[in-house]
């Protein structure tokens, strides 16, 4: 007899959770059709009634807090995933930092470990004259990696998240790449303007990102007895 899937969160909570993550991911306003298609593919199997709102509607901090409720464990777990989404590409920008702070305040949480994340905040480069003439925004420059001890509390806090819901586990497994992305060059008007190293070198919290994905995979296998071949 097949086992019945147990959900740790309500449909309203998981919907708000994913909307919160996507709001973080595209808080810079860049949400092109290709990205929309990617998220449509990621969420099609999450058993949500309001899939359209998850895909294309951002969520305010107040709406998020109302949907998630008053359990601080749920709030902290959301913030953990929000941090990992914000730094997944190795760039932690000011808009992401501001929104993350607003989410934390709305949830009534003050996580001291999050303060160390400010040391990884990227600063805008000076505007490229040709790009400025076209109305394009500047790039970002990453600060020097902070001392490992400075991020140690944040790493411990991120590693403290347990996975208890298969829908969230599946989303994490699809969003986090199974291996370190290739390095690449960013070009403007045919000229290389910046070289992006592999994510594992760029992101000081890459191990936490990979660890979360591994725990999500283990949960799907051990607790849900699911086939995870599509994620590997």
DSSP 8-state code for residue 117 = G
pLDDT score recorded for residue 138:
40
Q: How far apart are CA 74 and CA 163, in angstroms?
A: 11
**CA-closest candidate to residue 59, choices 26, 14, 20, 31:** 20
Beta bridge partners of 107: none
pLDDT score recorded for residue 127:
42
The two beta strands, 191-196 and 184-188, are: antiparallel
Residues of the chain with pLDDT under 70: 1-6, 28-56, 89-90, 119-149, 180-202
Compute the mean pLDDT over every residue in the chain, rounded to the nearest whole number: 74
Residue 216: which residues within 8 A CB-CB, separation 6 or more? Answer: 163, 168, 169, 170, 172, 173
pLDDT score recorded for residue 25:
77
Strands (DSSP E) found in the chain: 123-124, 140-141, 184-188, 191-196
pLDDT score recorded for residue 48:
58
Residue 177: which residues within 8 A CB-CB, separation 6 or more? Answer: 199
Which tens digits make up the pLDDT trace of 155-199?
A: 899 899 889 899 889 888 877 777 766 555 555 556 655 555 566
pLDDT score recorded for residue 73:
92
Looking at the chain, the number of H-run helices and the number of E-run strands are 11, 4
């Amino acid at each position: 007899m097949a086992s019945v899937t147990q959900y740790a969160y309500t449909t309203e909570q998981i919907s708000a959770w994913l909307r919160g993550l996507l709001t973080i991911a595209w808080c810079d306003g860049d949400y092109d059709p290709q990205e929309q298609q990617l998220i449509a593919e990621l969420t099609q199997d999450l058993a949500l009634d309001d899939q359209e709102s998850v895909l294309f509607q951002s969520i305010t901090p107040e709406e998020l807090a109302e949907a998630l409720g008053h359990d601080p464990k749920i709030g902290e777990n959301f913030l953990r995933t929000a941090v990992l989404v914000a730094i997944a590409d190795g760039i932690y920008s000011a808009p992401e930092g501001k929104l993350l702070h607003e989410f934390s305040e709305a949830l009534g949480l003050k996580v001291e470990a999050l303060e160390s994340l400010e040391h990884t905040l990227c600063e805008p480069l000076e505007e490229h004259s040709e790009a400025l003439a076209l109305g394009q925004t500047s790039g970002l420059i990453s600060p020097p990696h902070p001392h490992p001890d400075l991020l140690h509390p944040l790493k411990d806090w991120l590693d403290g998240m347990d996975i208890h819901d298969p829908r969230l586990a599946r989303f994490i497994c699809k969003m986090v790449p199974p291996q370190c992305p290739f390095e690449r060059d960013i070009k403007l008007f045919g000229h290389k303007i910046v070289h992006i190293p592999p994510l594992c070198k760029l992101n000081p919290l890459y191990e936490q990102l990979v660890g979360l994905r591994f725990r999500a995979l283990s949960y799907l296998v051990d607790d849900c007895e699911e086939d995870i071949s599509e994620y590997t």
